[in-house]
Amino acid sequence: MPWADRSPSPRLGAVYAEMFPENVRALVLDGPMDPYAGTMERREQQYTGLQRSFELMGASCTEKPDCPLGSDPGAVTERFQEIVQPLIDEPVPAGDGRVLSFSDAIGGVVAGLYSEASRPTIIEGIREVRNGRGDALMGLQDAYDQRYADGTYSNALEATEVINCLDEERHTPEQESQLRRRMTEAAPFLDTGRPLDDTRNMCEAWRVEPTLGHPYATDIEGLPDTLTVAVTGDPVTPYEEGTRLAEALEGSLLTVEGEQHGAALLAGNACVDDTVADYLVN
């Protein structure tokens, strides 16, 4: 926990601009983070965005006769929990001798919510879990975790934890438990349905204290005009975060209407790509 907090790169660009403005000619920041928000506030914003995306996906599903989440758009979270909470005690087969746990299922759904194009795979995965299999959601989780065909992984997750231990605010067990309660309030589709025990900060024993304060990347002297790209329906870094970063950098903001995390040079949007390329070149 938290499953979604694995994207420090937009913060990296803003911090670089703050540290070395004289090195910047042009800088595009896509999927941006709010430089004014501390860890608690930012993650709460993130989970609110994920719940919104989950409900939109579920509502679209309910319009079809074979939707595993039922026919009531207002009950998709409840129906999802009925399907996945049994995985806590009884994981289901997921191919190659593996099993899908509750945590794996949630991770697969969250990974799929990064892109609107993955919603059909999420729905199929939920249907599979209902029928006793976990292959599709495990596939989404594996892709996000960068699992290779031979069963090994990249070090992306480990690297991200190291980075976050220096960039995020360090929490006491009480603060981390409060964060988990806020998480389930903001995104009830993540709820385990079990009483919340004390939650520990993953960086609690890290020997080096965090080095990034909040706010950051503000009042930068000598920084050229930057371009922040923010998607209106971004489930992981909500649109408002992009507006605040653009404000902090005193740069330009490109608003993209869509339902995915990030848009520049990756979503096949010619309008976005042409604008970004023109800015970078000229």
Q: Is 59 a domain residue?
A: yes
Q: How high is the pLDDT of residue 1?
A: 41
Q: Please tell me whether residues 44 and 141 are part of one structural domain.
A: yes
Q: Please tell me whether residues 6 and 78 are part of one structural domain.
A: no
Q: Is 80 a domain residue?
A: yes
Residue for token pair 């000619």: 25
What domain range is 251 assigned to? 1-37+214-282
pLDDT tens digit sequence for 40-75: 998 999 999 999 999 999 999 999 999 999 999 999
pLDDT tens digit sequence for 187-221: 999 998 877 667 888 898 889 999 988 899 999 99
Q: What are phi and psi of 60, to 5 degrees?
A: -65, -40
Indicate the residue among 145, 168, 186 that finishes a domain.
145
Q: Is 201 a domain residue?
A: no
**Total domains, the chain:** 2
Tell me the mean pLDDT in the region 83-90: 96
pLDDT tens digit sequence for 229-243: 999 999 999 999 999
Q: Please tell me whether residues 28 and 45 are part of one structural domain.
A: no
Q: Is 205 a domain residue?
A: no
Q: How high is the pLDDT of residue 152?
A: 94
Give the highest mean pLDDT range of 38-47, 124-133, 157-166. 124-133
In terms of Cβ atoms closer than 10 Å to its own Cβ (0-12, 13-18, 19+), residue 255 is: middle
Q: Please tell me whether residues 73 and 136 are part of one structural domain.
A: yes
**Paired residues of 100 in beta bridges:** 92
* AA letter at 71: S
Q: Is 79 a domain residue?
A: yes
Q: Please tell me whether residues 51 and 117 are part of one structural domain.
A: yes
The answer to whether residue 2 scores a pLDDT higher than 70 is no
Q: Please tell me whether residues 32 and 42 are part of one structural domain.
A: no
Indicate the residue among 103, 128, 145 that finishes a domain.
145
- Strand pairing class (28-30; 227-231): parallel
Share of residues in the chain with pLDDT > 90 (%): 75
Indicate the residue among 100, 116, 145 that finishes a domain.
145
Q: Please tell me whether residues 86 and 18 are part of one structural domain.
A: no
Q: Is 85 a domain residue?
A: yes
The answer to whether residue 268 scores a pLDDT higher than 90 is no
Q: Is 242 a domain residue?
A: yes
Q: Is 154 a domain residue?
A: no
Residue 4 binned pLDDT confidence (cut-offs 50, 70, 90): very low
Q: Please tell me whether residues 32 and 90 are part of one structural domain.
A: no
CATH number at residue 272: 3.40.50.1820
Q: Please tell me whether residues 42 and 26 are part of one structural domain.
A: no
Residue 143 binned pLDDT confidence (cut-offs 50, 70, 90): very high
Produce one character per residue of 67-91: b if its CB has 16 or more CB atoms within 10 Å, e if not. bbbbeebeebbebbbebbeebeeeb
Q: Please tell me whether residues 13 and 107 are part of one structural domain.
A: no
Q: Please tell me whether residues 26 and 55 are part of one structural domain.
A: no
> What does pTM read for this prediction?
0.91
